[in-house]
Structure 1
Amino acid sequence: MTQVMKGVRILEVAQFTFVPAAGAVLAEWGADVIKIEHPVRGDTQRGFVNLGGQKVDPLRHTLIEHPNRGKRSVGLDLSTADGQALLYEIAKTADVFLTNYLPAARQKHRFDVEHIRAANPNIIYARGSAYGDKGPEREVGGFDNTAFWTRSGVGLSMSPAELEGPLSQGIPAFGDSIGGMNIAGGISAALFHRAQTGQAVELDVSLLSTGWWAAGAAISQATETGVVGRNRMPSSGASPGNPFLGSYRTADGGTIVLNTLTPGPYIRDIFQHLGVPEAADDPRFATAEALMTNWAEASALLVIAFSKQPFAYWRQHLKTSKCQWAPFQSLLDLTTDEQALANDMIVEVEAIDGGAPIKLVRSPVQFDHVTHPTERSPQASEHTETFLLEMGLEWDRIEALKTAGVVA
């Protein structure tokens, strides 16, 4: 298998999901990711007792597994001088320092860029934040629900204007996971740049910039036209102007989405698949221009056609169509989607409780058609002793640090 990050060490001083997700991606790619956690509390996210209203099993904590797979955990108290000194020793062995702590905390505990660079001038320093490392709100913290979904405009655009208020973010760590991938890409570019030039850079990714990049096409359109696009209320039928672009209800309440942006080449194919082949010869629908002029009448035909068969029928029947379409699936549906499984999108890791393996979604990049085996996330401070011994620390020193509460 190709481990593109083999030989790279990432020193991660971060918690929650946004920045740790970048470490998880790099670990899947073969990097040695050392996660520094508080020796008593660990990552704050380990203490979550419920997620979306559901009780969290601390031994099967999916919001820890998702962004921390494949790492090694070292318990280290960075509020102490001895802990900071040990952090600098580790930094000397690392290629990248990765953090999402706010500027005041980085300065207080002496792991801001100048402190880490004093230990290792050649280290790449990567920061993740809510709103960016410049400007009047660089000291303000936030989560993806605030910075990515709410403030970026993404949530408002996804919410139909007819609703009483905008929709809340329905997926935990949604922007965090996207933003973590952005950081992993930035780190990859920074490592390439250092290899080419010898220069080690600082890099920044914010949840706000992640939201704006994800919505970039819509933002540019809004600034060009002065009109902010909003999602439409759900209904069975087409988007205005194109009957082959819309959501259609099936007989049993499922939904099939047609997304054929250029309808002309698919007129006969779609009407035949929907059981109304004669519509392709109707002058109102026979050309792209006519079809888009008479889109409402064509949409009404499609609404009736889709309503005659159940979701499972259309999901199978449309596989022979040349148009662009998709079944509207739930998150759970994806775990049995044959195409997703064929592309190794689900990986299994052992569970700490010894029960059934935990299923995780692999990171989206695959090298040479092979998925790198993914290991479970570490328990808090699980690798402290073995890693410090690997670093060359004598056992007496480790014992003294443990006695002093500097390491766990």
Structure 2
Amino acid sequence: MLKMLDGLRVLDLSRVLAGPWAGQMLADYGADVIKVERPGSGDDTRAWGPPWWGEGDGRTASYFLCANRGKRSIAIDMADSAGAELVRTLAREADVLIENYKVGQLARYGLGWDDIHAINPRLVYCSITGYGQDGPRAQAPGYDFAVQAAGGLMSVTGEPAEVPGSQPQKVGVAVADLFTAVYAVTAIQAALLERHRTGVGRRVDAALLDTQVAMLANQGSAYLATGRPPRRMGNAHPSIVPYQVFATADGHMVLAVGNDLQFRRFCELLQQPDWAADPRFASNAARVQHRGDLVGLIAARLTERSTADWVALLEPGLVPCAPILDVQGVFESEQVQARGMQVEVGGVPLVAQPMRLDGERPLSDRAPPQLDGDGDAIRAALAAGRCWP
């Protein structure tokens, strides 16, 4: 196991996805992460099943498993004065604290930024909320689905408005949560680097809404440049053609032609060189202008053969394309297996951390914890005068 963050102490007060995902990322890089959970029930996602892993009273929702590898668990009632003091004791020697409570809620327990900063000015305190620490919606509950709506993502996701029955769509995974976690970890790391110079930690204010707006990327930039909001285009790309899903003889595939050279190769492989010579299609700008004409020609041609046939023809010719796999197909694919993206930690099947460093993949060897599974050991260490076990 790579332990690049060996010695870093992280107190994870978060639950559900964004905060726990950030804590898991730090654990995979070697940090010692203690997860504080509500007595009796723990993190909400422990009960978000089916599907489950395990049986009987020891079963845990697979949702919880995805975001809590590498952590130790202790159950503490932070609303109780003794519980809050126990958290403060842990925070005194921690390097990072991650929380995703409503704005101001932890301050009522004496666990807010000002409280913790006063007893440990070196600590980096990361607060993850739906809408941030200020502004008129700061107190609104922030779930990923709502933020995908309020942050513009759903307005550019789904079939075009003119398609009968179409409506805005959310993404199939909680991308606002996950991106916020990744942004939060980069900010935490930056604050830790600064702390080496200054000796003082910072407060990280990570908002799902802010992250979602940043994630609009080229769509947000297009609006700012033109004043025209982008619209839903289904699987088509607003600025590149052909770059979308096409039906084949036995299913569907993605064609992602990113430049004029790739388009010429595509036309040659389809034995349609006249398409590349046609002024309507010779450049990407022209193809975008004449999108309907070209897409109709390609759609008719691609239905003549299977997805596998087309991928076998186009991919060796350096034309970007792919079959559309379900999740089972993903984990059975040769490339995903070759990359080792399915792992087992403590007997639990999990998805691997995606980064490699010098050929090694950071991955904690500690399975997701049972609720309060490490509580006795942590409390005993604190009773013995060791602020952090």
- After TM superposition, the score normalised by the length of structure 1 is 0.84
Checking the alignment, whether the CA contact within 8 Å between 2:15 and 2:45 is kept in structure 1 is: yes
User: Aligned to 2:59, what secondary structure does the other structure show?
Assistant: helix
Q: Are 2:206 and 1:195 equivalent residues in the alignment? A: no
Question: Quick one: structure 1 residues 87 and 233, their matched pair in 2 at CA, closer, same or farther if it must change by over 3 Å?
Answer: closer
Q: Are 2:338 and 1:342 equivalent residues in the alignment? A: yes
User: Aligned to 2:155, what secondary structure does the other structure show?
Assistant: helix
Deviates more, 1:187-196 or 1:340-349: 340-349
1:84 CA drift (Å): 1.5
Q: 2:312 aligns with which of 309, 313, 316?
A: 316
Question: Quick one: structure 1 residues 331 and 155, their matched pair in 2 at CA, closer, same or farther if it must change by over 3 Å?
Answer: farther
Identity of aligned residues (%): 25
CA distance in 2, matches of 1:151, 1:290: 31
Q: Which residue of 2 aligns with 1:26?
A: 26
List alignment gaps of at least 5 residues for structure 1: 352-356, 395-408
Q: How does 1:13-92 map to 2 (within 5 A)?
A: 13-50=13-50, 59-92=59-92
Q: Which residue of 1 aligns with 2:350?
A: 359
Q: Which residue of 2 aligns with 1:400?
A: none
CA distance in 1, matches of 2:307, 2:31: 43
- RMSD value over aligned CA atoms? 2.8
Please tell me the residue identity of whatever aligns with 1:367: L
1:392 CA drift (Å): 5.0
CA distance in 1, matches of 2:240, 2:4: 44
User: Aligned to 1:320, what secondary structure does the other structure show?
Assistant: coil
Deviates more, 1:81-90 or 1:335-344: 335-344
Q: Which residue of 1 aligns with 2:274?
A: 279
CA distance in 2, matches of 1:28, 1:219: 33
Q: How does 1:9-408 map to 2 (within 5 A)?
A: 9-50=9-50, 59-147=59-147, 149-159=148-158, 160-162=160-162, 164=165, 166-233=167-234, 243-260=241-258, 262-263=259-260, 265-274=261-270, 276-279=271-274, 282=277, 284=279, 287-288=282-283, 292=287, 296-351=292-347, 357-360=348-351, 362-374=352-364, 375-391=366-382, 393=384
1:30 CA drift (Å): 0.8
Checking the alignment, whether the CA contact within 8 Å between 1:21 and 1:67 is kept in structure 2 is: yes
Checking the alignment, whether the CA contact within 8 Å between 1:242 and 1:291 is kept in structure 2 is: no
List alignment gaps of at least 5 residues for structure 2: none
Q: Deviations over 1:340-373 (max 9, x none)?
A: 333333322345xxxxx4232x333332221133
User: Aligned to 1:171, what secondary structure does the other structure show?
Assistant: coil
1:44 CA drift (Å): 2.1
Checking the alignment, whether the CA contact within 8 Å between 2:156 and 2:233 is kept in structure 1 is: no
User: Aligned to 2:67, what secondary structure does the other structure show?
Assistant: helix
1:273 CA drift (Å): 2.0
Question: Quick one: structure 1 residues 165 and 105, their matched pair in 2 at CA, closer, same or farther if it must change by over 3 Å?
Answer: farther
User: Aligned to 2:242, what secondary structure does the other structure show?
Assistant: strand
Please tell me the residue identity of whatever aligns with 1:366: R
CA distance in 2, matches of 1:176, 1:256: 26
CA distance in 2, matches of 1:121, 1:267: 57
Checking the alignment, whether the CA contact within 8 Å between 1:284 and 1:291 is kept in structure 2 is: yes
CA distance in 2, matches of 1:10, 1:329: 37
Deviates more, 1:329-338 or 1:309-318: 329-338
Please tell me the residue identity of whatever aligns with 2:340: D
CA distance in 1, matches of 2:238, 2:140: 42
User: Aligned to 2:254, what secondary structure does the other structure show?
Assistant: strand
1:229 CA drift (Å): 1.3
1:194 CA drift (Å): 0.7
Question: Quick one: structure 1 residues 69 and 290, their matched pair in 2 at CA, closer, same or farther if it must change by over 3 Å?
Answer: closer
Deviates more, 1:208-217 or 1:57-66: 57-66
Q: Which residue of 2 aligns with 1:406?
A: none
Please tell me the residue identity of whatever aligns with 1:384: G
Checking the alignment, whether the CA contact within 8 Å between 1:13 and 1:100 is kept in structure 2 is: yes
CA distance in 1, matches of 2:139, 2:35: 23
Checking the alignment, whether the CA contact within 8 Å between 1:5 and 1:31 is kept in structure 2 is: yes
1:41 CA drift (Å): 2.1
Q: Deviations over 1:75-116 (max 9, x none)?
A: 111112211221111112210111001133212222101221
Checking the alignment, whether the CA contact within 8 Å between 2:70 and 2:367 is kept in structure 1 is: yes
1:287 CA drift (Å): 4.3
Please tell me the residue identity of whatever aligns with 1:317: L
Checking the alignment, whether the CA contact within 8 Å between 1:73 and 1:381 is kept in structure 2 is: yes
1:65 CA drift (Å): 0.8
1:242 CA drift (Å): 5.9
Question: Quick one: structure 1 residues 254 and 290, their matched pair in 2 at CA, closer, same or farther if it must change by over 3 Å?
Answer: closer
CA distance in 2, matches of 1:240, 1:220: 13
Considering Cα pairs closer than 8 Å and 6+ residues apart, tell me whether 1 or 2 has the greater RCO: 1
Q: Deviations over 1:140-180 (max 9, x none)?
A: 22210112x11101012113213546334353433212211
1:310 CA drift (Å): 0.7
1:23 CA drift (Å): 0.2
Please tell me the residue identity of whatever aligns with 2:246: Y
